[in-house]
Structures are given as structure tokens and as C-alpha cells.
Amino acid sequence: MARSLEVLLLDDEPIVGRRLKPALDKIGCQVEVFENPKEAVARIDQKEFDIVVTDIRMEEMDGIAVLEHVQKKWPRTKVILITGYAKMDLAREAMEKGVFDFIAKPFRPDDLRRIIASAAEALGMPIDAASPNDETVAE
């Protein structure tokens, strides 16, 4: 049996983790949620995640720094950035640093599930992005 996709979810707004964890659990991901970037980075040092989903704008450490840290420590890990602002300069910087994709707040859990499915495909670990309760299959 194939192992589950390991996902680290980091956002200093508690609502994001609270709402997204169940949505990602439903498609079979093993999700660890963090609100504090330093604690998340410490966990990343201990464990190789398949996917890291992080907010770009946080007080103690921004998403770009988290991206850099992940790329240095685990080059295989795919990083997805959550952004509340359409900032071209940040987007360009993140692209240069190898971010897998962006998602802009507000978004629906399905939107992130689709991006995670693409990242899983790129890792050679395809998943079905539609939750078992969904009637329709994600595009």
C-alpha cells in the first residue's frame, strides 16, 4: 500500500489550519499544522515532508524564508505559498527560488486540494483530489 502524502501546513491565522486540515485529511494526506513559523522550521529540520504549504506574510518569519529553508534542507519537497496580496515582486522572487505554486486568499479548500494533487503528481505520488464525500471528481 502506498504511503500517505506528508503535508506541513503553516499559517499564523488559526482559521487556515482549522479549516484546511480536515479538508486535506479527507483526501488521505497526513497533515501537521503550525501557526508559529519557528516551530514549523524546527519540525522541518526533523522531518522531510512531501509538501509544505505556508503563508507568505507572517510576523516572525515570512514564507520566502521558509521556502529557502525547505529548499536547502529537502530539495525534493514541494512548497506552496498562500498569499493574501497580489505582490508581483514577491511572486517573482518565490518563482526564482523554486516555489511549486501559489494560492491567493480567499480560496476554497478544493482549490488547494487541486494544487496539492499536482504537486503529488510531480513527486510521483498521485492522489485523487476529490474528497470521498464529493460527488464530482476534481478537474
Shortest spacing between CB 109 and other proteins, in angstroms: 7
Residue placing its CB nearer to other proteins in the complex, 9 or 70 = 9
Shortest spacing between CB 104 and other proteins, in angstroms: 10
User: Which grid cell sits at 22?
Assistant: 480536515
Residue placing its CB nearer to other proteins in the complex, 6 or 13 = 13
Shortest spacing between CB 133 and other proteins, in angstroms: 13
Query: Do residues 137 and 117 lie in contact, with contact meaning Cβ atoms separated by under 8 Å?
Result: no
Residue placing its CB nearer to other proteins in the complex, 20 or 27 = 20
Residue placing its CB nearer to other proteins in the complex, 47 or 108 = 108
Residue placing its CB nearer to other proteins in the complex, 21 or 68 = 21
User: Which grid cell sits at 66?
Assistant: 521558509
Shortest spacing between CB 60 and other proteins, in angstroms: 16
User: Bridge-partner residues for 53, per DSSP?
Assistant: 9, 80
Using CB under 8 A as the criterion, which residues of the chain lie in contact with other proteins when the complex forms? 13, 15-16, 18-20, 84, 105-109, 112
CB atoms within 10 A of CB 102: 17
Residue 30 dihedral angles phi and psi, to the nearest 5°: -95, 110
- The whole-angstrom separation of Cα 70 and Cα 6 is 14
Q: How far is CA 37 from the centre of its chain?
A: 13
- The whole-angstrom separation of Cα 63 and Cα 134 is 31
Shortest spacing between CB 56 and other proteins, in angstroms: 12
